[in-house]
Amino acid sequence: MIEALGVFMWWLHISSAAALIGGMLYASAVLAPAAGGLGAEARTALAERAAAGFRRIALAAMAGLVLSGLYNILSNTGHSTRYKILLGIKLLLVAHIFSAALTACRPHHPRRTRLLAGGAVSGFVVIAISSYLRHIF
Ligand code: HEM
């Protein structure tokens, strides 16, 4: 039972990270440049509808990440100081990603693409830190 919970939480963490970071990357590196070929009115309408649609996914992914991340922290205690420092840096970057995603999904935000691109870059740094955390204690 405990093992099944651990597997579920790992799945939730990875799926939520993929949805959030993948969505931010797609929106900033694919959708926004592709919409550049449209007229101003159509471009704005597309961007607003895409932001409203992504907001639901981003909120669900953030809830999944916080729930499974807290489970990870509480189920593995007794880490080294280096582990705790890197986890702290990771969580600061996570705060940046969450606030970038929430701000970018607000209606009529003028710097939406930049925010999403910055959040995606932080996301890849967070994944690199997390990969390292897995191998130290
Ligand atoms: C954008 C947000 C996040 C991303 C992209 C992310 C990504 C990852 C990845 C890829 C792993 C490695 C999983 C594995 O292979 O074992 C991981 C593990 C972990 N995450 Fe996250 N995470 C995010 C948010 C969070 C949050 C909000 C928390 C805490 C509340 C958290 C806490 C942890 C912990 C404690 C681990 C285990 C590290 C270890 O193996 O010792 N993460 N995360």
pLDDT per residue, tens digit, the chain (137 aa), is: 779 999 999 999 999 999 999 999 999 999 999 999 999 999 999 999 999 999 999 999 999 999 999 999 999 989 999 999 999 999 999 999 999 999 999 999 999 999 999 999 999 999 999 999 999 97
Q: What local confidence, expressed as pLDDT, does residue 137 receive?
A: 77
Ligand 1 environment, Cβ below 6 A:
13, 17, 20-21, 65-66, 69-70, 72-73, 76, 94, 97, 123, 126-127, 130, 133-134
Helix (H, G, I), strand (E, B) or coil at 130: helix
Q: Which residue out of 77, 130, 131, 136 has the highest number of ligand 1 atoms within 8 Å of its CB and is therefore the one to mutate?
A: 130
Q: What local confidence, expressed as pLDDT, does residue 9 receive?
A: 98
Contacts of 58 (CB under 8 A, 6+ apart): 20, 23, 101, 102, 105
- The protein residue whose alpha carbon is closest to atom 2 in ligand 1 is 94
- The protein residue whose alpha carbon is closest to atom 3 in ligand 1 is 17
- The protein residue whose alpha carbon is closest to atom 11 in ligand 1 is 130
Q: Which residue out of 11, 65, 76 has the highest number of ligand 1 atoms within 8 Å of its CB and is therefore the one to mutate?
A: 65
Q: What local confidence, expressed as pLDDT, does residue 2 receive?
A: 75
**17 CA distance to ligand 1 middle (Å):** 8
Q: What local confidence, expressed as pLDDT, does residue 72 receive?
A: 96
Instruction: Tell how far CA 80 is from the center of its chain.
Output: 26
Q: What local confidence, expressed as pLDDT, does residue 41 receive?
A: 97
Contacts of 36 (CB under 8 A, 6+ apart): 43
